[in-house]
Structure 1
Amino acid sequence: MPEHPKLTAAQAAAETHQALAMRQTFARDVKRRLRVPLADQRAYGQRLQAALGEKNLGALAGEFVILVDRAATVQTLFIYFRAMPGEPWQMIGASPVATGRPGEFDHFLTPLGVFEHTPSNMDFRAEGTMNDNGIRGYGARDMRIYDLGWVDGERGWGKGGRSPMRFQMHATDPDRLEPLLGIRHSKGCVRIPASLNAFIDHYGIIDAEYQALVDSGKSLWVLHSNREVTPWAGRFIVVIDSERKTRPAWAPAPGSKARAKVPKGGDTAD
């Protein structure tokens, strides 16, 4: 992984100011947003740092990082940034997600850890076609599927244990399943809002390694030509479980109207 140049205090402050301007872009472009109190923003920044430290990435800085809390009471994705090691991570924005729901065959708990987003597991795009239950499992046509490759996942059925699972982050059916974001509802992948998917895609939030290939002259069909890649493109998705026992007010569960729209097979879409 390439190292970021060391910055002076003034340079770091300028980098931070420019990178945090992405907060306004997030607020403009992402339709499903969560208003996380500052104390919780800081607490999750500390959880992010602890998870990175466990993988010898404690000095990571100068790039955006995605953090997911798979706790049943939270189900939230955060985007964080810091300019220099040792600085606190600062939140760009947060949105509801759906992670793995145990209790049924072939349903995994979303795996914990630090996952590198790399062209070694090339992303692809949704065709927008419906499955046998009338569900667009990957969302509307052209939504990007962020492929993190095969990982060992914890089985949520039978006697438990671990098995290989294909770990992805992707949009979901915009009409029937996106309203359910905020509760565990997938087979193990991380489902995200369509507008968040487009935001991460358009600005290359975790596309550092993809952009490196483009800069070397390689053409990648999965990348749109009109992208506006941020100078702080990152490469990591971090999944934690805060094990919070009660649901915070800032991460509400979907209401009964959203749950009533779920068709048969709606929780087996990915």
Structure 2
Amino acid sequence: MNTRLLDTLRRKNKQIAGAVELALRTIMPSAARPSGGLSRRSAVLALGAFLGWSLSAGVSAETLLPEGAAPASPAPLAAEFAQQVASRLLIPEDEQLAYAARLQDALAAAQVTLAAPQFIVLVDRSPNVQAALLYWGSERGWQFVGASPVSTGLPGRYEHFLTPLGVFDHSLANPDFRAEGTKNKLGFRGYGVKGRRVYDFGWIESPRGWGDGSMGKLRLQMHSTDPVLAEPRLGTAQSEGCVRIPATLNDFIDRHGLIDEDYDRALAEGDKLWVLRKDRTPVSSPGRYLVVVDTQREARPDWSPLPVTRKPAAKSKPKPAAKSAAKPATP
């Protein structure tokens, strides 16, 4: 490539980056942005990926989308998510971009570099949000797949932890298992109905939600929950520190193997893994990470409403039979 053409490409790339930053400030007023320190580069990358520009940190001809090129195609499995996951949150585009930037910042802080585009589950533990967002992509750009309400740790009770923040690896170092569907002494099925997958991330340091709030060890898991007593409460903090997700989201992640990168590697090496379902249709680009953030929102956004809990209808009591008239005494 000659020097003149390369200089032209560089100028265009800088112009696009400036336009992206201006658009970001326009469509994302400060009041609408989640609190916390989003890096400008992450925000620009997220918006660039959304518009199909896929900007990189460097200035090279390979990162520039040719003029007139079609915008990026929808994220893999986005249509399937809308059809197969019953509990969904309709997140505005500006919020999708903000969370994509926050996801990238969390990966960078954890020094996680992705070798290829993949699926990642991002959870916002803010009490005013309580949501899981599914993304596909890499540091070159993220595409939003879908979102659902969740329940994270509820402090203030004994043995209740705050769900820890950070990037958590899903690997065979902490093997998954499946729910037995049994109830505890309170009649609660903590892992949901029989057969639901329990995603295990191992022992993690996390703040205790009781006593002096010192650090303790939590077995961090992501799993379904009691379909009657707890799933209707998703969208509010309820758990002992784990991430409770809707049953249909659990099934979706499980069936498509969205965070099974390490499990697929073991299968390719000849291992037999009982926890993997026989009817799974794994994606070609699985991931392996759960990312937990906290936007610390002071108000609940419209797209994440409080769950509506309805009391069972009161059973109507049968009306007492009318008393028959007293018979006159016989002489």
Q: CA deviation at 1:256?
A: 4.3
1:99 and 2:155 correspond: no
Partner of 2:98: 43
Residue 17 of structure 1: which of 46, 49, 73 is its match? Answer: 73
Residue 222 of structure 1: which of 267, 270, 275 is its match? Answer: 275
> How many residues are treated as equivalent by the alignment?
248
1:44-102 deviation per Cα after TM superposition (whole angstroms, max 9, x unaligned): 000001100101125564101110000000000001112x5332x11100000000000
Residue 80 of structure 1: which of 135, 141, 161 is its match? Answer: 135
Contact 1:117–1:207 (CA under 8 A) maintained in structure 2: yes
Residue 198 of structure 1: which of 246, 251, 275 is its match? Answer: 251
Structure 1, unaligned runs of 5 or more: 1-7, 261-270
Partner of 1:68: 123
Contact 1:65–1:234 (CA under 8 A) maintained in structure 2: yes
The 1-side partners of 2:227 and 2:279 are apart by 23
Partner of 2:53: none
Q: 4+ runs of 1 displaced by more than 3 Å?
A: 58-61
Residue identity (%):
47
Alignment of 1:129-144 (within 5 A): 129-144=182-197
TM-score, normalised to structure 2's length?
A: 0.71
SS of equivalent to 2:173: helix
TM-score, normalised to structure 1's length?
A: 0.87
Letter in 2 for 1:179: P
Identify which range, 21-30 or 203-212, moves more after superposition.
21-30
Structure 2, unaligned runs of 5 or more: 1-61, 314-331
Q: Which has the larger radius of gyration?
A: 2
Contact 1:180–1:259 (CA under 8 A) maintained in structure 2: no
1:233 and 2:286 correspond: yes
Partner of 1:213: 266
Partner of 1:183: 236
The 1-side partners of 2:104 and 2:311 are apart by 35
SS of equivalent to 1:120: coil
Letter in 2 for 1:205: L
Q: CA deviation at 1:153?
A: 1.2
1:242 and 2:295 correspond: yes
Partner of 2:88: 33
Contact 2:121–2:135 (CA under 8 A) maintained in structure 1: yes
Partner of 1:266: none
RMSD: 2.2
Letter in 2 for 1:81: W
Contact 1:153–1:163 (CA under 8 A) maintained in structure 2: yes
The 2-side partners of 1:169 and 1:34 are apart by 18
Letter in 2 for 1:80: Y
Contact 1:61–1:85 (CA under 8 A) maintained in structure 2: no
Which gives a bigger RCO, structure 1 or 2 (Cα 8 Å, sep 6+)?
1
Contact 2:162–2:241 (CA under 8 A) maintained in structure 1: yes
Residue 204 of structure 2: which of 137, 145, 151 is its match? Answer: 151
Identify which range, 93-102 or 21-30, moves more after superposition.
21-30
SS of equivalent to 1:249: coil
Change (3 A) 1:259 1:74: farther
SS of equivalent to 2:81: helix
Letter in 1 for 2:98: A
Contact 1:52–1:114 (CA under 8 A) maintained in structure 2: yes
Q: CA deviation at 1:191?
A: 0.1
The 2-side partners of 1:258 and 1:214 are apart by 47
